[in-house]
Structure 1
Amino acid sequence: MIYHMTAFIVGFVLDLLIGDPYCLPHPIRWIGKLIDYLTNKLLKQEYTSKKKNRNGLILVILVILATVLISAAILVVSYTINSYFGIIIESVMSYQCLASKSLYTESMKVYHALKERGLEAGREAVSMIVGRDTASLDETGVTKAAVETVAENTSDGVIAPMVYLAIGGPVLGMAYKAINTMDSMIGYKNDRFYDFGKYAAKLDDIVNYIPARISALLMILSCLFLGPGYSMSNAFRIFKRDRYNHASPNSAQTESACAGALGIKLAGPASYFGKIVEKPFIGDGLRAVELEDIKRANKLMLATSVVCELLCVVILVLLL
């Protein structure tokens, strides 16, 4: 448990300091390549819906099994060689499950693009982190898209993997990341993936159900430590009212908390693959969305991650 707790803390610090350098290999990219390979092998458009659905389940099983077995094997071998070496490897694996620095870096690219190079640059930057069409977004739309991405991924990219790391170390953390990656790659409700990606999308909803709610509550709590500009009471009010204003049972949990904390209105109709998708708004819009909200959302995300890390460490210490 001491080894695990040490690796858990070091992994968190490494993520805050280093993030995800593109020059370094990353297991999530390898998982993505495995998903892509299996998709090409198992998904043919001429297959029946039933066969696509069955093959999608096969892909989910194979990806999770490969991720769990390889992660466990790496840890076992590492700790067999030497305890300190094992802690180092577990720390690196834990760090690679988290994405707070990467989320901050990528969303702030949108901020700097809009501020320094204008709307077209902002649209291009935000297109790298969202799935919606961005060509027709105005500055407010680009800003909202970046804020929504930070809010939603506070759960998916930071708090959920952190919770699973605390419970089951890198094996469970990597398994979660594999499920999340499958959903992001094949969980679309379009013609190609509707049947094939059903199991991946549903499993992602299941594994994120509790962490999404934990993330939202911790986000609300974090308002206490951030001072003016963040309303804990309004965050809780909007969370209670709007947390199901999304097709996903989980995505609006943190979006509603963030919208309430900042006093802005998020979500609403958006274009995907050339089609307008009607979505309800989240928040009251006590003021207009502005560029600085990207910074504010990131500050809220980082505070939430620190609060979660501290709570997890306290729980782990109590279990010693």
Structure 2
Amino acid sequence: MMLYSFQELLLLAAAAIVIDWIVGDPKRPTHPVIWIGRLIRLLERVLAPERRKDCTAAVRLLGVILTAITLCISYGVMWSMVWAADAVHVWLGYAVSAWFISTTIAVKGLKEAAMLVYTPLSEGRLAEARKFVGFIVGRDTGKLDAREASRAAVETVAENIVDALVSPVIFALIGGAPLAMLYRAANTLDSMVGYRNDTYRYFGWCSARIDDVLNYIPARLTGVMLTMAVLASPGMKAGRAVHAMFVFARLHPSPNSGIPESAVAGALGIELGGTNVYFGVPGERARMGWPLRRLQPFDIVRTIRLLYGVSFIMFSGVMAVWLVII
């Protein structure tokens, strides 16, 4: 049952974007993603403590059950909280909805995490930069040079324009805070069990596929909005960003992440992708963009500007639609 009208959802989504711009992520112990992560780990221990590596229909089914329970609980708890707040007073319901939608968005948090890499890099403190890169990527960071550390940060910001901004806002516009939280739960599942490794290849397959499906349309809308943001950014090339998406996006192992990464690479005239090392084992990631110049630490700042450009486009678009339909 829908709690709010589309007009109300537009204003709630716009308010959530502004809250994230100003406040950012809540403190770690109270962040909903932390509680979703704890739920996933609990369910994982209960459902498949020893059999996660087995290639059997039963293990795949347990992965489906993990995904279904996590999504249902995340949606149900959020719906109940919004309903209870709205029952007390409509403005309390609005406040609770806007706040929790903002916790599914992470523009400010993404910027801050990337700047923790950029600042020491720009000051020549490579060891410190490597430490902070390790907070945002899963690859080995102990031997990264300045270019590779910059690449990791640029790729993280570019990829997460979809996960941390566009997708949660779109799902909030469709179903308010409950659906936005369901999306965040799906994204958290993918980040925790959606790996194609020996441990999670079969148990986590459903979580990975759900995340791919939910991000499919938002990723392509992100490509459009990134192009618009590039048009407003001096020194970047929108035509090259579009060309890069058509040439390179399909080479990425994810059906969605290649779109923002290739767009950013094309816009900046740099090459992303290359050799990444995981647990001491090097692997080649598809290269995207044309290396017209050497990737530099300041490209992290340029990518953050594109992130904020897309967030401003989303905010403006949401408010424009609200003004048209009121």
Contact 1:205 1:249 in 2 (8 A): yes
Whole-Å separation in 1 of the counterparts to 2:48 and 2:320: 46
Q: Does 1:244 align with 2:250?
A: yes
Question: Partners in 2 of 1:138 and 1:43 — Cα distance?
Answer: 39
The aligned residue for residue 39 of structure 2 is: 34
> Is contact 2:51–2:59 with CA below 8 Å preserved after alignment?
no
The question of 1:76 aligning with 2:83 is answered yes
Unaligned stretches of 5+ residues in structure 1: none
Aligned pairs (5 A) from 1:18-97:
18-22=23-27, 25-46=30-51, 48-50=54-56, 51-97=58-104
Q: Equivalents in 2 of 1:21, 1:71: separation in Å?
A: 16
Is 2:307 the counterpart of 1:301?
Answer: yes
Match of 2:293 in 1: 287
> Is 1:261 aligned with 2:260?
no
Cα distance between partner residues in 2 of 1:46 and 1:176? 27
Alpha-carbon distance in 2 for matches of 1:22, 1:250 = 29
**Pick aligned residue for 1:210 from 217, 238, 241:** 217
Distance 2:319 2:165 in 1: 15
What is the distance in 2 between the residues matched to 1:239 and 1:153? 16
In the TM superposition, residue 44 of structure 1 has moved relative to its aligned partner by: 2.6
Count of aligned residue pairs for this structure pair: 319
Counterpart code for 2:131: E
The offset of 1:171, in angstroms, is 1.2
TM-score normalized by the length of structure 1: 0.96
Q: Give the Å deviation of 1:318.
A: 3.8
SS for the counterpart of 1:290 is coil
2:318 corresponding residue in structure 1: 312
CA contact (8 A) 1:219 1:254 kept: yes
Q: Partner amino acid for 1:248?
A: S
Q: Could you list the per-position Cα deviations for residues 8-52 of structure 1 after superposition, in whole angstroms to 9, with x for gaps in the alignment?
A: 221111100111143661111111110111111112334643232
Counterpart of 2:127 (choices 103, 114, 120) is 120
Distance in 2 (CA, whole Å) between partners of 1:195 and 1:238 is 33
Structure 1 vs Structure 2 CA RMSD: 1.5
Q: Which amino acid aligns with 2:305?
A: K
Deviation at 1:53, TM superposition (A): 1.3
Equivalent residues of 1:162, 1:309 under 8 A apart: no
Q: Which stretch shows the higher mean deviation, 301-310 or 199-208?
A: 301-310
- Structure 1 residues 273, 187: CA separation in 2 closer, same or farther (over 3 Å shift)? same
Shift of 1:7: 1.9
Segment drifting more, 116-125 vs 136-145:
116-125
2:15 equivalent among 10, 31, 37 = 10
Looking at structure 2, the residues matched to 318 and 256 of structure 1 have their Cα atoms a distance apart, in angstroms, of 34
SS state at 1:271 partner = strand
How far 1:312 sits from its partner (Å)? Answer: 2.8
Q: Residues 113 and 125 of structure 1 are in contact (CA less than 8 Å); yes or no, is this contact kept in structure 2?
A: no
- What stretches of structure 1 move > 4 A for 4+ residues in a row? none
AA matched with 2:125: G
What is the Cα deviation at residue 279 of structure 1?
2.0
One-letter amino acid of the counterpart of residue 160, structure 1 = S
Residues 23/176 of structure 1: CA separation in 2 closer, same or farther (3 Å cut):
closer
Separation of aligned partners in 2, 1:49 and 1:245: 27
Identical aligned residues as a percent: 33
Q: Is the 8 A contact 1:12 1:95 kept in 2?
A: yes
> Is 1:277 matched up with 2:283?
yes
Shift in Å, 1:319: 4.4
8 Å CA contact retained: 1:158, 1:305:
yes
Deviations 1:160-217 (A, max 9, x none): 1111111211111111000000000001111111111000001111111111111111
* TM-score (normalised: structure 2): 0.94
How far is the alpha carbon of 1:224 from its aligned partner?
1.7
